[in-house]
Chains A and B, each alone.
Chain A
Amino acid sequence: MRASILLGIWGICATTVSAGEVVQFHIHGQAWNDFGRIMQASDSELAGGTTVNTSSNSMQSLGAQFTVDAEWGEHWNAVLGIGAYQMATALGTVGGTPEASDFLNVSLMKPISQASLTYYEGLIDHPWLSITAGNFAYDYNPDVKDLGLYLLRGPVYPGLLMSGFQQFETDTTKAVQTGFRVHNAIGNFSQDLLLINEQELPPMFDWSLAYVAKYRAFNALEIGAGVNFYRLIPYSNALETPGRFPYGQGSTASDGTPNYDVVSPDDTVFYTDQGIKLMGMFSLDPKRWLPFENMGSEDFKLYGEAAVLGVKNYGSLYNDIWQRIPVMGGFNVPTFGILDFLSVEVEWYGSPYRDDLSNLGNPASIVAPWMNQNPPIPSPVPVEPGAYPDSVKDNWKWAVVAQKTVAKHIRFTAQIANDHFRPGPLVSDGTGTTTTGGAASVLTAPSDWYFMCRLGFFF
């Protein structure tokens, strides 16, 4: 946030410095309303020692944002966006007792939706070189509607995946990265180098270095690959390997799982948040070879992505690389212009661990960071490994996403899915909020699913 504001000020100052030149402003805006329901959720959040089951619980939220895009000269572009997103809580039963959901117990996300400054060479929409600094949007795989985007979403150790309805990572109008990006494009080849600051998951403020390269062939097939040196430059070296903390302060995670592994009397492995992700992706658009008429621009697209979440095997928790390889595939079912797209996505990920972020730090920090001002030390181990035999049941994930735009500016979006949705319950006992969540994915069985729909407009 601080970086966003500073960079926003930088952008304003840059405009002032160049006041002699004509500055062109483009104003964009959007608003949206979400509504949906968790139809079946087998697992429960373990929030603050209380079990919260969100099954059969409705959800509702709304948001809006303004974005000002300023151009001056032939090489400079700045973007500043402000907005608010009122996310509803999703309470089902708390400790076995039905709990009233509370739309007004909300998380207000992304008050600054973008704040970036870009220097570019070439056309602004397709520069051959650009350098961006600040809080910016970046989506290396725009085919993805829900599942995937492994390279820049989620931690490495433990290798937990992130997804959900209309997450900001799949939206190019909302910043999800803070730091620097260098982009280069030569013909059908493009590459991006990113130095990004961790502002989502504890430990915060580490710097990761990522690289993504893509090549487009035959105007139909795009292939890409990337690497992410996750938390390469830590904010605090000590926080990366908590098992080494003096006096045993960080010897165990919040759930009691040791942050180290004694392999032999002379060999102790210390788990770390740092790691390397690898990613490969493809997108095939066969329309040019198909005989049909009136095909929509997204129809028939087949796309996919796979990643290695941590190339290094170590300790007893991370000794099988095949358990750290998620694979997803998607297909845009042809709708011949009736819809913008109708996508079906499927994912397989053979991780044996609970899909829960809570060991990464303060579970409350995801929903209500003020709830605990003395959070535990972030841990790189999964939640209670071995204690959740059901964890293997959630290896398969799926999502069906449809979108329709009318009158060029009104958009309907709907999704049915069993994905990595992490609702954020916020439990009240009548005298104040005592339990928070938002760390665990609640869809952990094949029979689990939810639906969401969105009505919005944009300009």
Chain B
Amino acid sequence: MRMSAQMSMQTISKCMRVNRRRANALLWTCLLALPGSLFAQGDSSGIRLKYHGAGWVEFGKVENSYEDLGGEIGDYNKNWLQDGGGQFGVIAKVDSNWEGAFQLGIMEIELPRGTAGENGQQTASLWYPFWTPYVSEARVTYSHPVLNHLGKFQVTLGEFTYNYSPDAKNLGLYLMNGYVYPGALESGFGGLYGGVDASEFGGLVRYEVGGFHNDILLKTEDERPDYDWSLLNIASYTIRPGLEIGAGVDFYRLIANNSSITSPGTMCGGLGYGLGECSYTDTVGGKVDTITGSLAGTKVMARFHLDPKALFGFSKLGPWILGGKDLTLYGEAAIIGLKNYPIYYDDIWQRIPVMMGFDFPAFGYLDYLSAEVEYYGSKNSSDDIGANFGGSWIPDNNQYVQDYNTRDNWKWSVNLARTLFGHLQFSAQVADDHLRLGGTHDLPWVGGEVLRTPDDWYWTCKLAYFF
């Protein structure tokens, strides 16, 4: 293992989180694309085993990233991205009610180094790989039919994958990802933060009957401070085939592991760099108030899925046969924090991200060709460094926001994928999203957004083999 003695544990941690999310993205992609009959099958003590595995390489480049204003923040402009890995998993059907599953793998991370230090260019694109093993799934599920098998009741415990909006390729999934205060959104390629969602540790109770589907989750947070428990309820209803609506609420960090960290009062030390403050003074109206708050908050979400093919019952466009995802329109909106605080969170409209996506007709030549657009009118810094490392619920005192009093409210992403021979998938993305690369050698900037201006963008692609 090539690992420097001074290797930032934050960077490793972030990468491990990324690994699990990427791995889950791949798992979902593979499982959705793979006919069940292709699973290798085994048997041990009467249980039915289904093995699955994958290997992949990923490659890309940050074509344009915002200018470094402070000299210490990494500049990822023209920085190559690269990683690869493999994973292996099993789904064990114990009996008609019980099922277990786990998945483990290893991933080579090629840290996108950007630049760091006063001279700015010292470490750009330095070859700096290391290998990280991970466990991305370890769950036990109990299922029981209800209403004479018209519905299903299911309880899952452990580490499990969860995704309430399988349409989303990159943007969206606001309920599951990111802090409430500060309301920094998360997304990236291949489930990095968005798209297919990550592993969750905790419990999931699912009830579904007919077109109605309801999930209750009690999960721990995997962004610092960890071990806080969040309670979510997410429901969806299929009105007609091809038209689905959904909504959810997330009582984020409802049960704090350590309330003095989650709701620090005025006792947060901060990180320096103008980050990590936990209280501030409000002097509006001539009255001086000390404002304290909490990382805890409430998110609400609504979404829709519209597939005109299923809704109106057609499968061709002229002579052309449409693919399964073609023409699907989908969208999601959320309120990131119902509670207002003075100055930074005094306008709820600035805490409402909205995204829309459309799967262009690819007529079977591609699995999908999607375009997604997002608007988020927050005027705060898009970083979550202060929250991640200082336990701060206050937006980072980001120099870009401070100096230019502006930010990139619009995000976009174009994604495509093509599966070949049933076991080989090529996917690619061009985007200006909420990519957070991290990777600077000894600085905690893993929570900093790389793409902040309308000119910023990157591309990346992946070749994966799976069975």
Contacts and interface: CB of A to CB of B under 8 A. Distances in A.
A433 B12 CA distance: 11
Interface string B372-398: 000000000000000001110000000
B406 to A, nearest CB: 27
B261 A432 contact: no
Interface string B280-304: 0000000000000000000000000
Contacts of B6: 432
B133 A108 contact: yes
B157 A428 contact: no
Interface residues on A, range: 35 or more
Interface of A: 26-33, 56-60, 62-66, 82-86, 88, 97-106, 108, 111, 368, 370-373, 406-410, 426, 428, 430-433, 455-457, 459
12 contacts: A27-B42, A31-B101, A63-B138, A64-B137, A66-B88, A370-B5, A409-B92, A410-B98, A410-B140, A432-B442, A456-B138, A457-B140
Contacts of A111: 133
B3 A62 contact: no
Nearest to A457: B100
A60 B97 CA distance: 27
B9 interface: yes
Interface residues of B, number: 63
A33 B201 contact: yes
Contacts of A98: 258, 260-261
Q: Pick from B42, B104, B132 the residue with the most CB of A within 10 Å.
A: B104
A85 B133 CA distance: 9
Contacts of B88: 66
Contacts of A30: 102
Given A83-B104, A370-B7, A457 B135 contact: no
Main secondary structure of the interface of A (DSSP, over half): strand
Interface stretch (B44-52, B61-69, B172-180): B44-52
A455 B10 contact: no
Interface of B: 3-10, 12-14, 16-17, 42, 44-47, 49, 88, 90, 92, 94-95, 97-98, 100-104, 132-135, 137-140, 157-159, 201, 220, 222, 224-227, 257-258, 260-261, 269, 271-272, 276, 389-391, 442-444
A64 B44 contact: no
A406 B157 CA distance: 14
Contacts of B138: 31-33, 62-64, 456
A94 to B, nearest CB: 11
Contacts of A459: 44-45, 47, 49, 92, 100
Given A103-B220, A370-B4, A56 B227 contact: no
A31 B102 contact: yes
Nearest to A99: B261
Contact of A407 (B14, B95, B276): B95
A97 B14 contact: no
Contacts of A64: 102-104, 135, 137-138
A238 B271 CA distance: 45
B261 A100 contact: yes
Contacts of A27: 42, 44, 49
Given A27-B44, A31-B102, A409-B47, A102 B224 contact: yes
Contact of A455 (B140, B276, B442): B140
A371 B103 contact: no
A79 to B, nearest CB: 15
B41 to A, nearest CB: 12
